[in-house]
Amino acid sequence: MTTVLPPTPLTTSALDVVLEERLSDARTLPADAYLSPEILDWERKHLLEAAWVCVGRSSDVGAPGDQRAVRVGTQGILLTRDDAGVIHAFYNACRHRGHELLPADTCTNKKLIQCTYHSWVYGLDGGLRSATQFMDTENFSKEEWPLIGLRAVEWFGWIFVNASNDAPDFSEWVGNLTDVVAPWDPTDMVVAKSHTYTLQTNWKTVIENYLECYHCPSIHPELCRVSPPESAMSLHQTGMWLGGGLELRKDADTNSLDGRSGGERISGISDEQARWAYYFMLAPNLLLTLQPDYVMTHRLVPLAPGQTWVECSWLFPRDVAERPDFDPSFAASFWDVTNLQDFGACESVYQGMLTNGYRPGPFDEREDGVRAFQAQLATAYLTGRWEKPLAITLGARDAS
């Protein structure tokens, strides 16, 4: 395979074995893909910045004048909402001397963007309004010094940013997942509960764990009581996503500790869809779970080779979430238990990879989602760019 951009330090032979055509011949990624600081640096530049990364909900920058500073890969980015309600994204750097316009991971609401260093002022659309007391520079024109803009899109109430500005169009990136999610239409849903976790593991182990239920009988008794793991099926995908569903047991209405719902069935879904919970990974950092009565997300941010920040949120229809007596804990408590089981396993996998005894292992047929994701990564490591994941076949159904 021809390398078109600087490859990772991983060897071609270590990656080619992940891409073996037959599942039985393929092996998992080498330990360095998870342990190496150089690999993570490469991923930040070539995988995160080159992708459409989820940076939060539209409500995080919901009102005109809202401004929020986030990071994608190595890039600081400023999000704003203008008076017309349009979302904007800019590199978080003043055009004068590069000072941050807003400190990372902070937010504010102002009619204008003002750099605190020399007080240059910009509109919410990025245009330079005033270079305060800037003088004695011949032919200086404010119109020539706007903030450097980036593409940002809103999709069902989530904000996505492409930090390199050269990813494929978002519609191509997300593919037919738009049609899959549409019956739930989370656009106006409310985040009723949110938990954050800092995990001592690599970000990819969290995604891999999410993409298979081979481990479910071993560590998830609560989940298995409401969703039999043998019911797992995959959906045929276009775009940069993978996933499928687990059927609910006949006596369960949703994923909760007792199988009962404290909310209401999503109005747009069919009777068939109401009997399943669907689990999707949208590369590179959003895990999206569709339940009959709520939507759950895990948003991942790699902090170090062995450290990952995860935000887990539970979204409900607005009319349900705003009831005075509504309590989202039936969902949050169930998944907090399940999350901790998963995260403990992911941290243990990372510790095992640190030993000299780790070797790339085989894939079970129930791990075809993991294999597809690892093959997607192996291809990216070899070519320097994201490619669509392999098709997964175990019980695969048409996404419609």
Q: Which of 162, 189, 223 is the last residue of a domain?
A: 162
- Choose the weakest-confidence range: 16-30, 91-105, 129-143, 247-261: 129-143
Residue 250 sits in the same domain as residue 351: yes
Residue 219 sits in the same domain as residue 342: yes
- What pLDDT, on the 0 to 100 scale, is given for residue 388? 84
Residue 155 sits in the same domain as residue 178: no
Residue 88, domain CATH:
2.102.10.10
Looking at the domain assignment, is residue 273 inside a domain?
Answer: yes
Element holding 307 (H helix, E strand): strand 307-316
Torsion 84-90-95-101 (CA) sign: positive
Residue 148 sits in the same domain as residue 175: no
Looking at the domain assignment, is residue 30 inside a domain?
Answer: no
Integer Rg of the chain from CA: 22
Distances in Å between the alpha carbon of 22 and those of 2, 27, 166, 253, 392?
22, 10, 33, 38, 12
Helix (H, G, I), strand (E, B) or coil at 304: strand
Q: In what order do the strands lie in the sheet with 128-131?
A: 113-114, 120-122, 128-131
pLDDT per position as a tens digit, 317-331: 999 999 999 999 999
Looking at the domain assignment, is residue 306 inside a domain?
Answer: yes
Residue 207 sits in the same domain as residue 224: yes
Residue 99 sits in the same domain as residue 130: yes
Residue 100 sits in the same domain as residue 147: yes
Residue 285, domain CATH:
3.90.380.10
Residue 114 sits in the same domain as residue 261: no
Q: Which of 126, 142, 162 is the last residue of a domain?
A: 162
Looking at the domain assignment, is residue 258 inside a domain?
Answer: yes
> Does the pLDDT value for residue 4 go beyond 50?
no
- Per-residue pLDDT band for 138 (boundaries 50, 70, 90) equals confident
Percent of the chain's residues with pLDDT above 70: 95
Looking at the domain assignment, is residue 227 inside a domain?
Answer: yes
CB 54 within 8 A of CB 89: no
Here the tokens at position 205 are: 């182990």
Residue 207 sits in the same domain as residue 133: no
Looking at the domain assignment, is residue 18 inside a domain?
Answer: no
Looking at the domain assignment, is residue 41 inside a domain?
Answer: no
Residue 233 sits in the same domain as residue 361: yes
The arithmetic mean of pLDDT across residues 145-158, rounded, is: 97
- What pLDDT, on the 0 to 100 scale, is given for residue 394? 47
**CB neighbourhood size of 398 (10 A):** 7
Q: Which residue range forms the structural domain that includes residue 88? A: 61-162
Torsion 136-138-142-148 (CA) sign: negative
pLDDT per position as a tens digit, 263-295: 999 999 999 999 999 999 999 999 999 999 999
Give residue 12's identity as a one-letter amino acid code.
Answer: T
Distance CA 57, CA 88 (A): 14
Residue 192 sits in the same domain as residue 333: yes
CB 368 within 8 A of CB 208: no
Element holding 395 (H helix, E strand): none
The arithmetic mean of pLDDT across residues 116-133, rounded, is: 92
Q: Which of 162, 190, 208 is the last residue of a domain?
A: 162
Looking at the domain assignment, is residue 190 inside a domain?
Answer: yes
> Does the pLDDT value for residue 52 go beyond 70?
yes
Query: How many domains does the chain contain in total?
Result: 2
Here the tokens at position 258 are: 């007792």
Distance CA 19, CA 52 (A): 24
Largest CA distance in the chain: 77
Residue 219 sits in the same domain as residue 328: yes
> Does the pLDDT value for residue 51 go beyond 60?
yes
Distance CA 65, CA 79 (A): 10
pLDDT per position as a tens digit, 59-111: 999 999 999 999 999 999 999 999 999 999 999 999 999 999 999 999 999 99
Torsion 282-284-287-288 (CA) sign: negative
